[in-house]
Structure 1
Amino acid sequence: MGLRANPTQRQRRLGLELRRLRLAAGLSVGEAAAVAGLGPPHLGHIEAARTAIPEVKLRALADAYGCRSEPLVDALVEMGRSTGRGWWSDYKRHMASEALDLAELEASSVSCRSFQWLYVPGLLQTPDYVRALIEGGESDADPALREKYIEFRLRRQDAVLSGTLRFHAVVHETALRLQFVPPHVMRDQIEHLVRMARLPQIRIQLLPFKTGVYPPSSNTPFLVFQAAVPELDTVYIEQPASSPFISDQQHLRGFSKSFEDLQAIALPPIDPRTEREFSTDRDSLSLIHHLLYTL
């Protein structure tokens, strides 16, 4: 079997975690390979995500590395066992690898926390908003390809929102003020946020212009994904980079702390159960009403 030329994010993460465990145990590639009955070059390819690792070999390595967390070992085994196939597989010829990796990550995560300041989060966008966003941002793309981008976004929404992923979004008021779409599209988009907030797994907070506290986050939109075990949590940053996926624990803690701080200064979540014609309460729903009034 040949070596992988373009490993997925899941495959790269598995190799990275095995390397981290080996380094934490103080073993060289040669020492670790001998324990598992592998050649050093073979283990090097595994850690670089260029080839797969059988379950028995993975468990032997985890034992040699002193990893006593059964949930972590089981999660690593599952990562190695996965075929990586899902609804996103239909779009391999059309979508960038980062988009496919993001869809696979969403499918395997327990929860996702999202901060957006320029756009409504992709999982909460209406079809008309998606179309305006993609047609504006991909104006030079072939129309048929743009349709694939739109279709991919909407299928991603269906797959995630019909599942069990818990989604908590903090959205800056800027995202609802930008007028790159017609007023009726933005009105429907804002009303859609209220409809989405009725779903038990969805939590939406707005971060207003006037907070009284300087926002603690960077100016980069990001998503923090919680895995079945905390060691495999992942941050996805929405900016041009060599890799938008971050697994370093120090950076993970930093982004998680940023989201907690944003959550603390944002308005209380949209709660449709308290929907009313007029209120003086300062919460996300009252800001929604104000925005709808000004459109």
Structure 2
Amino acid sequence: MALRTTTTERQRRLGAELRKLRERAGLTVSDGGASINMGRVHLTHVERGHTAISTERLRALCQTYGCTSSTYVDALVRLSESKGKGWWSGYKGKLSPAALDLAELEASAEGLRSYESLFIPGLFQTEDYTRSIFNADDEITSQEAIDSAVRFRMERQAILTGQPPAEVHAVVHEAALHMRFGGTAVIRKQLLRLIELAENPRITIQVLPFTTEGVSTLSTPFFMLTSHGKALDTVLTETPSGSLYLHDDDSIAKYRRQFDRLRAAALPPVDTSIAPAAHDSRDSLGLIQYVLYTL
């Protein structure tokens, strides 16, 4: 079988998980390969995501490595058997591979956790707000590229209403409410969109106010996805050199703790079901409404 010239995050993740299992079992690549009648070089390519592995061999390999969690093994099988095709396939060659990887990950996600410091999360953005961001992007210069990027982000939002819809919890820094992308009318529409989205029982939106103390070290935005029966988590962070996907145990534990600290420090979630007179203390809805009033 020919080796893949490019690999997706899903393919790399499968290989990384198999390598992690092998190393935990204290086995070499040669040991693992021999257990399923596969050469050392062949298994190395599997662990790097450069080639596929059959379901039979995958399950046998997990057994060799002493993995007893059927939920986890089934999750690996789903990663392996997935064709990686979906609505995002139409954007291949138009957007970065990292963007397509994100859409594929979101399609199988059951839970999404997000922290943003300067932008409204992409899944919550209005079209005008998104377009204003890409219009200011130095790397996306042609109108055709901007139109594709905007359409792609709008299509990603289908997971909010899909069947079953993903459960989304976002913490947004107050600074993001004040950033002027597209002018006052665009920002007003965007903030009203946040309030509208919060009416969805599967969407939780909290605002982290400027007055919050003790979270200065948590200023880097991140996006966490839980998928495959919660057996696999992925964290996405954006860097100047591109998107970085993290899924090692230490990183996942670190970002889970960070999100727990952020949501504990943030104001109570936006809740439109509470009567105005009952808002007797600061909450996220009140802060968003205040910013709307001052625009």
Q: Above 0.5 in TM-score?
A: yes
Residue of structure 1 equivalent to 2:224:
224
Q: CA deviation at 1:137?
A: 1.5
Aligned residue in 2 for 1:40? 40
Indicate whether 1:141 and 2:141 are aligned.
Answer: yes
Q: What amino acid is aligned across from residue 25 of structure 2 in structure 1?
A: A
- The Cα offsets for residues 7-43 of structure 1, whole Å up to 9 and x where unpaired, read as 0000000000000001111111111111111111110
In the alignment, which residue of structure 1 is the partner of 2:180? 179
Q: Equivalent residue for 1:206?
A: 207
Cα distance, 1:93–1:247 mapped onto 2, change above 3 Å: same
Instruction: Give a deviation string over 1:228-252, Cα, whole Å, max 9, x none.
Output: 3555211101223565100111111
Write the letter of the residue equivalent to 1:180. Answer: F
Residue pair 2:177, 2:288 contacting (<8 A) in 1 also:
no
Partners of 2:115 and 2:168 lie apart in 1 by 11
Q: Is 2:59 the partner of 1:24?
A: no
Are the aligned partners of 2:58 and 2:77 in contact in 1 as well (CA < 8 Å)?
A: yes
Answer whether contact 1:222 1:235 (CA < 8 A) is retained: yes
- Residues 245-295 of structure 1: per-residue CA shift (max 9 Å, x gap): 001111111111000000001000000112538954200011011111101
Q: Distance in 2 between matches of 1:278 and 1:181?
A: 34
Q: What SS does the corresponding residue of 1:129 show, helix, strand or coil?
A: helix
| 1:117-174 deviation per Cα after TM superposition (whole angstroms, max 9, x unaligned) | 1000000001110111111124751111110011101011124443421110000010
**Do the aligned partners of 1:220 and 1:239 also contact (CA within 8 Å) in 2?**
no
RMSD of equivalent CA atoms: 1.6
Deviates more, 1:267-276 or 1:214-223: 214-223
- Return the TM-score normalized by structure 1: 0.95
Structure 2: how far apart are the matches of 1:179 and 1:242? 24
3-state SS of 2:155 partner? helix
Q: Which moves more between the two structures, 137-146 or 202-211?
A: 137-146
The corresponding residue for 1:168 is 169
2:41 partner letter: P
> Shift of residue 218 of structure 1?
3.0
SS at match of 2:115: strand
How much has 1:93 moved relative to structure 2?
Answer: 1.5
Q: Deviations over 1:190-223 (max 9, x none)?
A: 0100000011210000011112x22164321101
Q: Secondary structure at the match of 2:239?
A: coil
Maintained 8 Å contact 2:140/2:146:
no
Give the superposition deviation at 1:94.
0.5
Question: In the alignment, is the contact (CA less than 8 A) between 1:138 and 1:146 conserved in 2?
Answer: no
2:290 corresponds in structure 1 to 290
Name 1:151's counterpart in structure 2: 151
| Counterpart Cα distance in 1 of 2:188 and 2:243 | 35
CA contact (8 A) 1:190 1:288 kept: yes
| Counterpart code for 2:190 | Q
Structure-1 separation of matches of 2:281 and 2:218: 29
* Cα distance in 2, alignment partners of residues 241 and 142 from structure 1: 21
Looking at structure 2, the residues matched to 29 and 106 of structure 1 have their Cα atoms a distance apart, in angstroms, of 32
Q: Which amino acid aligns with 1:199?
A: N
| 1:70-89 → structure 2 map (5 Å cutoff) | 70-89=70-89
Quick one: distance in 2 between partners of 1:242 and 1:284? 31
Report the identity percentage.
Answer: 43
- After TM superposition, the structure 1 = structure 2 runs for residues 229-240 of structure 1, keeping only pairs within 5 Å, are 229-240=229-240
1:22-67: CA deviations, max 9, x gaps?
A: 1111111111111111111110110010000000000110000000
Bigger Cα displacement from structure 2, 82-91 vs 266-275: 266-275
> SS at the partner of 2:136?
helix
Q: Aligned partners of 2:125, 2:181: CA distance in 1, in Å?
A: 14
Alignment TM-score, normalising by the size of structure 2: 0.95
Partner of 1:250: 250
CA distance in 2, matches of 1:185, 1:285: 19
Alpha-carbon distance in 2 for matches of 1:187, 1:252: 35
Question: What CA distance in whole angstroms lies between the structure 2 residues aligned with 1:156 and 1:91?
Answer: 12
Which AA in structure 2 matches 1:190?
Answer: L
More displaced 10-residue stretch of structure 1: 197-206 or 240-249:
240-249
CA distance in 2, matches of 1:48, 1:58: 15
